[in-house]
A and B are shown apart, each in its own frame.
Chain A
């Protein structure tokens, strides 16, 4: 794009924004007159300006009074009811979980304690911890090798 084209492009863009401000009611009468004067150089923009300023108030298409209060009340009620039922189901789940936990937590603890105690008692645990370890790693075996050693001992004694 040549330099003069670029300048023209920028000027057009600025004028478009000014037209928009005019349509938003942000320009004073004096500013409007100045804008119209500038637009004389751009006939297409001047036409757009006139068409835009002639547009009816778009807010009139959906006036507040068209917003039927009964429809709104029903909509709000539906949302709040839905939220309440969701909260209720969540609350129910939380409460239910708490009841189940309270009811069965004690029973579960007792059961675990009983199982652990059972294991502990079933072992003939030596008092000395070193011996206990030895028992654990080298449990008493009643294998033939031990009988054989005893047999040899007896044989030598004879």
Chain B
């Protein structure tokens, strides 16, 4: 029988890898585990499925839940860890795709640079460039108008360029 709960349950295997990847990027350098937040977000979404209005897709909905959970956690922690002090090695790479050491190093530095962005900018970068969400979708998740999102994206890119320069990364 088709019900929102059943429909959502069927979508979980498809949505999980995408959200997990986005959360890995968003939470890199923090002491929050992407697995924990991703699972908590799915369970919370499932329990409150009656509040899902259906204006957007399940993904943007569960994404905003995951982000809110993370922000709640950061608020509780109050003093979010100073990410720039985290050594590059902490940004682990799980796959063995990066066979060359240089390439691996470059990816680690890129991860570190993204993690050093302030939350407001980091979340936009992750959503746009890593998760591939559109500006209207990001605007819906963050509940901020598209123009502001685009401004933040410009600032984020500008800051990233500066951080990478400081980390000594030769840009293309």
Contact = CB atoms under 8 A, between A and B. Distances in A.
Given A20-B150, A48-B158, A76 B106 contact: no
Contacts of A66: 21, 24, 93-95, 97
A45 to B, nearest CB: 10
Nearest to A73: B13
A121 interface: no
Contact of A58 (B46, B110, B158, B169): B110
Contacts of B129: 57-59
B157 interface: yes
Interface residues of A, number: 35
Interface in A59-79: 59-69, 71-72, 75-76, 78-79
A75 B36 CA distance: 9
Contact of B114 (A17, A61, A82): A61
B16 A55 contact: no
Given A20-B157, A52-B157, A64 B20 contact: no
B25 A62 contact: yes
Interface of A is mostly: helix
Contacts, number: 107
A32 interface: no
Given A59-B130, A61-B107, A75-B38, A67 B161 contact: no
B84 interface: no
Interface of B: 9, 12-13, 16-17, 20-21, 24-25, 35, 38-39, 42-43, 46, 93-95, 97, 106-107, 110-111, 114, 125, 128-130, 132, 150-151, 153-154, 157-158, 160-162, 164-165, 169, 171-172
